[in-house]
Structure 1
Amino acid sequence: MAEDGAEPAVPLRGNRGFLIFLVVQTLSSAGDSFSLVALPLLVLHTTGSVTQMGLVTALAGAAAIVSGMFAGVLADRADRRRLLIACDALRAVLYAVVPLAWVLAGPQMWLIYLVVPLGAALGMVFQVTYVAVVPALVDESQIMTANSRLYGAYAVAGVAGPALAGTVSALTGPAGAIAVDAATFAVSAAGLCLVRLRTRASSPSVPVESRTSVVGGFLAGVRFLWRHPVLRALTVLLSVLTFVTHGMTDVVIYHLKHDLEQPDTAAGYVLAVATAGTLAAALLAPRVRRTLGFGVSWIGAWAVCGVAAGGIGLATSVPLVALLTSVYLFCTATAGISSMTLRQEVTPDALLGRVTSAFWTVHSALGPIGAAALTFAAGRWGVAVAAPAAGLVCVLIAVCATLTPVRSSRPEQLSGEAT
């Protein structure tokens, strides 16, 4: 019920702006998924070198990290809708140049080394900005549900995108798949032109000190995270969790191929089936949080996640690996949707981009190192040791979280020390 005579919130299914945004975000995510498959294939077809494939991937990762430092400042200073449109429009042009060059002038590897990092940087700016846009599309009470819908759409795009990219690449070559990629970004940009954002009336004011340089703006996001007791604890805990879980997909694939001696198709089967866990989280996460509260939902999700991770390492059949991986993804998605929603609920609107950028950059910084460590452990001592060890750390972090403000049932209502 609406309070103080306010009009009741429009249901998400009747919210035209959100529905358009959901569709174009799905398209944009599908475009990203196309790139993940088509670009490495194009490099391999052109050079035959796995080293150059790795170099292109490394450039993309580095560009995303660097752009993450200023993406939040852009999201908070610029018109967010126009920024989203610009990111998709520029990506459409960038990726369209690649197949055009291949047709007119033949393979041009220098162009790949230019386009890929620029595209990755624009993608990071888009991701940070879209998180900051969601609270301006829906009612405050609908943010969790909206995030769940978007998370589900992202999961579907993450499965359908690579499958379609592989099919198109087989039919037309990787350059043709990249042309389709460019088209998805163009359609997304056009769709965003139809979306209108509203002002968050309940958004608290922004500290004057946060309106500084790019570096100062990023640090303002870091300070906000540190001063808010729940966000501070979440950032620290997730830094450790990211370190120990970032390489789990690689471990699952290695377990299937090396330990269970399965063909390549088994990995695709397991990861496709496991996506059901992400989709289930997209549907159930809002209800889980409403019923159990934030603390129990987040802590419980990571505790179960740890058990599932350990079980994956000990599983001796493909269906069991698929089931446990699905449980694992359900738990990480439920926790992720809950924590993202909390940041949107407690962060001033004009600071939300910088806080999102700071959160992602800080808590994911140890991810690549952790992935290398986990995969090394799996190769050195076996998945049956590495995966349960990672799972045990997840459970221990969940136990530690019970001693922090994260255990609060309604942390969005805490006064905190953030402003």
Structure 2
Amino acid sequence: MTTTSARTGSRLATLGGNRDFRSLWLGQAASDFGGSLTTLAVPLLAVALTGSEVVAGLLGSVGFVAMWLAQLPGGYLADMCDRRAVMLWCDGIRAVLFGAVTVCLLLGAASVWMLFVLTVVSGALMVVFNASHSQAVRQIVPRDQIPEAVSLTQARGFAVSVIGPSVGGVLYAAGRVVPFAVDSLSYLFSMWFVGRLRTPLRPSRRPSVRRLLPDVGEGWRELWRNRFLRARTVYSTVTNVAVSALMYTLIIGKADESVVLGVAMSAAAGAGLIGSLISPYLQRRIGLRALLVATALVRGGCLAAAAVSGSELLFAATLAVVMLLGPVVRAALAAATLLLVPGDVLGRASSSSAFVGSALQPLAPLLAGFLLAAYAPTVVQWILAVGFGVVALCALMLPGLDVRPATSGED
């Protein structure tokens, strides 16, 4: 373990001296921070403009649809085009979009339709940017340092998630225009860092357009054949809806308490960071099915306790529990996927599974808006608790989830 830790520390130090990786990391950190501010500000502004939780939920649903539809085009552009150019275009367009919203707010000309355009375009561009960003990391970072690079990237995301919503809530309370102006500037910073990259980021080869459909089809065929992958897809579909509905219920239901909401979301992100640290321990000691069932029951139990007690604080704490257990579930499913899906179709099969697994997620924000408009908060909490009960039942009954990830020999 000491030798392994020393090697990891050495690789992290080497990554810190990698000029291009450092630039890419800092640029994405800037845009991630700006995005975390407006993730909270957009639904809050929608409620302020319309007075309708349903519209705010619909806005989130439309954003999910845009990101879902952008997955395959984003991957195609990352394979076919210069990744630096793709990232620069994505950042530039988003800077203009959020700058335009800033101007509209200053002039008192903001409308809910403007928010719909902003949500659709920025969500799609985020997916396209991330696809090219992943390819860029593979070209910039030596192969033996890829795990450390991914770890640093995830740490950046958690760190931004911890501080971003709290700052966003404070900025929105200070002035609705402020989060959008800061987000626009964050994309300009990202453009500057991406523009400093020296490593050529052009694709090594251009995939044949004639082979595009057959190649994609291989991933779908593996999804149909592989029993574990089918079970994972069904489980992910139900879980994504339940978790997203819970998060949007909290955001929309607390639209008039932006500072408190921001702090709650930051605390939840901190819980997610803890979850990522304990996930290896749990994976080595608990089978996949037991882990998935227990996670769903704990989440549902927290919601039921919040409904019985009527405590808003306990309901907000449930989000922290969801975030705490989220990295554990994702890591366990990823490890099992690596074990049970053939390597030559792993990427395409995993993408096909993710595409199906997120298909119903756009309905979650809309569902949250309708529930809050139709029922009292306690009733909504009970409905969500039942939803996680359905998740637990799926994890218990689906064939193909009896998997225990292999234990590393170094442990």
Match of 1:246 among 230, 244, 247: 244
> Unaligned stretches of 5+ in structure 1?
2-6, 200-204, 258-262, 413-419
How far apart, CA to CA, are the structure 2 residues paired with 1:48 and 1:373?
18
Answer with 317-326 or 272-281: which moved more: 317-326
Q: Paired residue for 2:4? A: none
Q: Paired residue for 1:190? A: 192
Report deviation, 1:280: 0.6
Conserved in 2, the CA contact under 8 Å of 1:131 and 1:356? Answer: no
Match of 1:409 among 399, 405, 409: 405
Report deviation, 1:187: 1.4
Q: Paired residue for 1:382? A: 379
Q: Paired residue for 1:312? A: 303
Report deviation, 1:270: 4.2
- 1:392 is paired with a residue whose SS is helix
Conserved in 2, the CA contact under 8 Å of 1:168 and 1:174? Answer: yes
Report deviation, 1:253: 7.1
Conserved in 2, the CA contact under 8 Å of 1:43 and 1:52? Answer: yes
Report deviation, 1:278: 0.2
Matched, 1:280 2:274: yes
Match of 1:63 among 66, 69, 76: 66
- Seen in structure 2, the aligned counterparts of structure 1 residues 249 and 149 have a Cα distance that, compared at 3 Å, is same
Conserved in 2, the CA contact under 8 Å of 1:168 and 1:176? Answer: yes
Conserved in 2, the CA contact under 8 Å of 1:222 and 1:355? Answer: yes
Conserved in 2, the CA contact under 8 Å of 1:151 and 1:337? Answer: no
How far apart, CA to CA, are the structure 1 residues paired with 2:298 and 2:331?
20
Letter in 2 for 1:212: L
How far apart, CA to CA, are the structure 1 residues paired with 2:388 and 2:132?
33
Matched, 1:391 2:394: no
How far apart, CA to CA, are the structure 2 residues paired with 1:230 and 1:184?
41
How far apart, CA to CA, are the structure 2 residues paired with 1:102 and 1:170?
14
Q: Paired residue for 1:126? A: 129
The number of residue pairs the alignment matches comes to 387
Letter in 2 for 1:382: V
- 1:212 is paired with a residue whose SS is helix
- Seen in structure 2, the aligned counterparts of structure 1 residues 333 and 42 have a Cα distance that, compared at 3 Å, is same
Report deviation, 1:184: 0.9
How far apart, CA to CA, are the structure 2 residues paired with 1:301 and 1:231?
15
Deviations 1:275-334 (A, max 9, x none): 332011233335554x44xx8367515523422322332243566555554333221122
Q: Paired residue for 2:181? A: 179
Q: Paired residue for 2:14? A: 14
Letter in 2 for 1:237: Y
Q: Paired residue for 1:416? A: none
Q: Paired residue for 1:85? A: 88
- Seen in structure 2, the aligned counterparts of structure 1 residues 307 and 99 have a Cα distance that, compared at 3 Å, is closer
Conserved in 1, the CA contact under 8 Å of 2:223 and 2:230? Answer: yes
Conserved in 1, the CA contact under 8 Å of 2:102 and 2:177? Answer: yes
Provide TM-score, normalisation by structure 2: 0.72
Report deviation, 1:9: 9.8
Deviations 1:161-211 (A, max 9, x none): 33333433444x433432210111121232234457799xxxxx9998983
How far apart, CA to CA, are the structure 1 residues paired with 2:77 and 2:244?
28
Report deviation, 1:29: 2.1
- Seen in structure 2, the aligned counterparts of structure 1 residues 175 and 8 have a Cα distance that, compared at 3 Å, is closer
Provide TM-score, normalisation by structure 1: 0.71
Letter in 2 for 1:328: V
Task: Supply the RMSD in Å over aligned alpha carbons.
Answer: 4.7
